[in-house]
Amino acid sequence: MGRRVHAAVRPRPRGPGDLGAHAEGLLCLVSRPHRASPRRRTDQDRRAAVSTTATRRVGAGWLSLFTLAWLAIWTVQLTPLQLLLPDQLDASNAEGHWVVGVVWSGIVLSVGGLAGVIAAPVAGRLSDRTRSRWGRRRPWAVGGSLLAALGLIVTGLADGPWLIGGAWVIVSIGLAAASAAFTAMIADQLTEQRGSASAAASSAQAAGIVVGVGAVVLLGLGITASYLMLAGIIAVIGVGTAVLLPDPGPAHVLPVRTQARPSSLRDPDFLWLLISRLVVNVGNALGTSLLLFFLLYGIGFSKTEAEDNLLVLIVIYTVFVVIASIIAGMISDRTGNRRTLSVVAAVVQAVSGLVILFSPTFVMTAVAAAIMGAGYGAYMAVSLAFSTDLLRDPEDHARDLGIVNVSANLGQLLGPLIGAGLVALVGGFWLLFAAAAVLSLAGAVMTLMVRRGRSSPAPLPVRR
């Protein structure tokens, strides 16, 4: 019997071709778990290929194009949110009560935001899997920009809350796709300058409001002309920057099986950061999205005065967002302590809500705009850089950062709906600003649940 077992375990190979077959049979008999070893080697090879890429620093040209791309995105997204959509919905309100216009504004913005929330991670996932002669990110940045331009034209021609809301959904989907592609470039191409690049995107957000609202107010554009202007901005600048920015390709071939790959979505730190960004952005939206209605019906300005004063508030807010985001981004790059900076920034934003709550005048609203701009600008720059530190897999950069964008955009779009409900509930604005302060503080506490950031894999080599 011993000889029979011995013969079964150690068959004599008949030739070079039989050796592999017998060795495979021996491996299955003796150590079955080794069947998984080819998959583990594939993952190791993939990570090794990525980790051998060199760390890059980009110059002023890259940062300028990146900032310009985000300036276009924020201009065409926030100008309708702050001015055009409230104007359209207030004018189309057949019932004649200002609260109804506020409610419709909240509904339309939230429905459009939901479309963007769904589109961003989907477009990011598809971008991660794209292998084309034009790159991975560029096709989605170009396509998203053109879709947003089309949606803006339709929105400008729409009449009534249902048609306006449907057209705004098209805009939201296009901007979500473009945003996911541009955001992924931070993790694809940078390590040491992630804070600075995130600051560029955040400061462009504030500047975009000034550019869009300022052009509409100072040029005296009507609603349709304003939307046509915004469509031209995103079509020219969005497409142009997507073409000019380098688009790195992956250093490896996509594996066939992906079950063993690490996922940021299973990382508690990453999930806490997503939730905190959502809550802080809801707090910010409560304090900013209904300002036109606050100036009209809370303070009592006429429509012309309210629009002019809204522009003043936006300029103040913008200046402090830009300054705070740049300074905070640079500090976070040098110190690496992004968690503490994010917490402090969220607390600063909370203070702004208390200022308006206790003194609802235009002067104190201007003071609150400065405080909120400083807090929000610093928070958005540092928390975005923080999220790139927590990424697990380079093959999912666009998907994961698309979800990071969703957390902020969802907050900005839930805010008007929640705010409209709060205003309707009490027939005034005091509960709106109280909730803005409370949620900003809650976001700061949630950020404390995130551990110090880890370094994500090195950026990919750049090729045009």
The pLDDT tens digits for 445-460 are: 999 998 755 444 445 4
Higher confidence at residue 296 or residue 104?
296
Higher confidence at residue 392 or residue 276?
276
CA 39 → CA 33, 381, 392, distances in Å? 12, 38, 18
Instruction: Give 168-195 pLDDT, tens digit per residue.
Output: 999 999 999 998 889 888 877 877 777 7
3-class secondary-structure state, position 308:
helix
What would the mean pLDDT of 120-138 be, rounded to a whole number? 86
Cβ 295 vs Cβ 408: under 8 Å:
no
What would the mean pLDDT of 344-372 be, rounded to a whole number? 95
Most confident by average pLDDT, 131-140, 192-201, 424-433: 424-433
Question: Integer distance in angstroms from the first to the last C-alpha of the chain?
Answer: 68
What would the mean pLDDT of 315-322 be, rounded to a whole number? 89
Is the per-residue pLDDT at 54 higher than 90? no
Alpha carbons 301 and 311: distance in angstroms, whole number: 14
At 232 the pLDDT is 96
Q: What angle do CA 434, 436, 437 make, to 5 degrees?
A: 70
Is the per-residue pLDDT at 287 higher than 80? yes
Instruction: Give 4-35 pLDDT, tens digit per residue.
Output: 444 444 444 444 444 344 443 333 434 444 44
pLDDT category, 261, cuts 50, 70, 90?
low
Is the per-residue pLDDT at 441 higher than 60? yes
Cβ 94 vs Cβ 160: under 8 Å:
no
Residue the block writes with tokens 């216009």: 101
Quote the tokens at residue 304.
Answer: 């012309």
Share of the chain above pLDDT 70, in %: 80
At 56 the pLDDT is 63
Alpha carbons 300 and 365: distance in angstroms, whole number: 14
Is the per-residue pLDDT at 258 higher than 80? no
The half-sphere exposure of 335 on its side-chain side, counting CA atoms within 13 A, is: 14
CA 404 → CA 61, 98, 356, 398, distances in Å? 26, 34, 29, 10
Q: How many other CB atoms sit within 10 Å of the CB of residue 86? A: 26
Closest by alpha carbon to 342, among 376, 390, 379? 379
At 335 the pLDDT is 85
pLDDT category, 156, cuts 50, 70, 90?
very high
Q: How many other CB atoms sit within 10 Å of the CB of residue 44? A: 10
The answer as to CATH 3.30.590.10 being correct for domain 62-254+263-448 is: no
What would the mean pLDDT of 90-110 be, rounded to a whole number? 68
Quote the tokens at residue 410.
Answer: 């969802």
Is the per-residue pLDDT at 157 higher than 90? yes
At 445 the pLDDT is 95
Higher confidence at residue 197 or residue 367?
367
**Positive or negative CA dihedral for 265, 269, 273, 276?**
positive
* β strands within 179-306, DSSP E: none
Alpha carbons 172 and 77: distance in angstroms, whole number: 8
Q: Find the DSSP H helices in 390-429.
A: 397-426
At 148 the pLDDT is 96
Cβ 363 vs Cβ 226: under 8 Å:
no
Q: What angle do CA 189, 408, 201 make, to 5 degrees?
A: 40
pLDDT category, 439, cuts 50, 70, 90?
very high
Alpha carbons 148 and 150: distance in angstroms, whole number: 5
Instruction: Give 377-421 pLDDT, tens digit per residue.
Output: 999 989 988 988 888 777 777 778 878 878 887 787 788 779 989
Q: Find the DSSP H helices in 52-97.
A: 60-79, 85-91
Quote the tokens at residue 201.
Answer: 């995107």
The CATH 1.20.1250.20 domain(s) of the chain lie at 62-254+263-448
Cβ 440 vs Cβ 346: under 8 Å:
yes
Q: What is the pTM of this model?
A: 0.68
Query: Taking all residues of the chain, what is their mean pLDDT, rounded to a whole number?
Result: 80
pLDDT category, 91, cuts 50, 70, 90?
low
